[in-house]
Structure 1
Amino acid sequence: MTIAPPLIHSHGDGYRLVYEAVYATDIDDLWAAVTEPDRLARWMADYSGDLRLGGRWEVADADGKGVWCRGTVTSCDAPRGFTTVWHADDEEPTELVVRLAAVAGGTRLTLEHTGIRPIFYGAGWHTYLEALETHLARPHATRDEDAWHQRYRALSPGYEARFAAL
């Protein structure tokens, strides 16, 4: 599977990214992969907290000594989706919506991140969604930070050009 470039829209003084990808797994497995802290740690980051309605969560920074992102789940309809406030370090809060739908061949994940300002989110989410695919194929493998950073650096120039064109 190849992650298609997202739709990028201007949104106020920021942007809205919309990704869609179909993963070769059922909706319950994909839901677990995007909401359970132990699964998230294998492909994305070390989450703590609760990804259910009203739940608060946070992500540890790389050295584990602080928090680089936190939020509160504002809606949840397991296993079809959730909405959360996304508050990254030194940024205004944004909104992240994840929706899942069973389709022929697997489950479609739609990820919308609204209100972002830094352009690194485009290549970042793209790289994470590819890492999710790898996780689903090898669920017990641990994330490879070096590979993630290499892929992010490879994707960044294309995303920078797309944002600059808006």
Structure 2
Amino acid sequence: MTAPAEDLVVRRTYPDPVEDIWSAITESERLGRWIGTWTGDPTTGTVSFTMTGEVDAGGEEDDPVDVTIEVCEPPHRLVVDFPAGDASWHLDVTVSPHGGGSELVLVQRLDGSVPREDLAAGWTWYLARLAAAQSGEPMPPWDPA
């Protein structure tokens, strides 16, 4: 997938197989270990998502928001629209084999509501949290620098 220059692209490799990373980004209980949980029936195209990871950065648990699932192609691609204030974050996540593990590529369409640097720092932190959740290591501290 080639992303336009106005998109943020964050890549991360994991030693885990594709199916395991897919489960960590799509199963509510596993997702809750590093970013947040969802409820509802994904076959309807919408789930209610509660961001919980911000608590570890000194924030608060967010109110649930309805996330629209645009594409779900297990175990390789998930595209969602995630409400964020007055805007909507369009996220396109792919998971593919890489070496003996997998590579996750997250593409977020930039809309100008949040500076690129802030989004990059946030997604880098969250994907490091995913790595920690996978390995059983302590969660990394928030470091916006």
Letter in 1 for 2:74: A
Among all aligned residue pairs of Structure 1 and Structure 2, give the percentage whose two residues are the same amino acid. Answer: 23
Question: Residue 25 of structure 1 is aligned with which of 7, 12, 16?
Answer: 16
Q: 1:80 deviation in Å?
A: 0.7
- Aligned pairs for 1:64-143 (under 5 A) are 64=61, 66-67=63-64, 69-88=65-84, 90-116=85-111, 117-119=113-115, 120-138=118-136
TM-align CA RMSD? 2.5
Q: 1:8 deviation in Å?
A: 9.0
TM-score by length of 1: 0.69
Contact 2:38 2:49 in 1 (8 A): yes
List per-residue Cα deviations over 1:106-162 (Å, max 9, x = no partner). Answer: 011110010342123221101001111111111xx7x75xx543x2x3x3xxxxxxx
TM-score by length of 2: 0.78
Contact 1:53 1:75 in 2 (8 A): no
Instruction: Report runs of 4+ in structure 1 exceeding 4 Å deviation.
Output: 50-53, 60-65
Counterpart CA distance in 2 for 1:44 and 1:92 is 20
Aligned residue pairs, count: 134
Q: Structure 2: 5+ residue runs without aligned partners?
A: none
Secondary structure of the residue aligned to 1:25 is coil
List per-residue Cα deviations over 1:35-72 (Å, max 9, x = no partner). Answer: 111111111123333555713232256555723x4411
Contact 1:99 1:111 in 2 (8 A): yes
Q: Which has the larger radius of gyration?
A: 1
Counterpart CA distance in 2 for 1:25 and 1:50 is 27
- Aligned pairs for 1:38-49 (under 5 A) are 38-49=29-40
**Higher percent of residues as helix:** 1
Contact 1:84 1:95 in 2 (8 A): yes
Letter in 2 for 1:137: S
Contact 1:97 1:113 in 2 (8 A): yes
Q: 1:105 deviation in Å?
A: 2.4
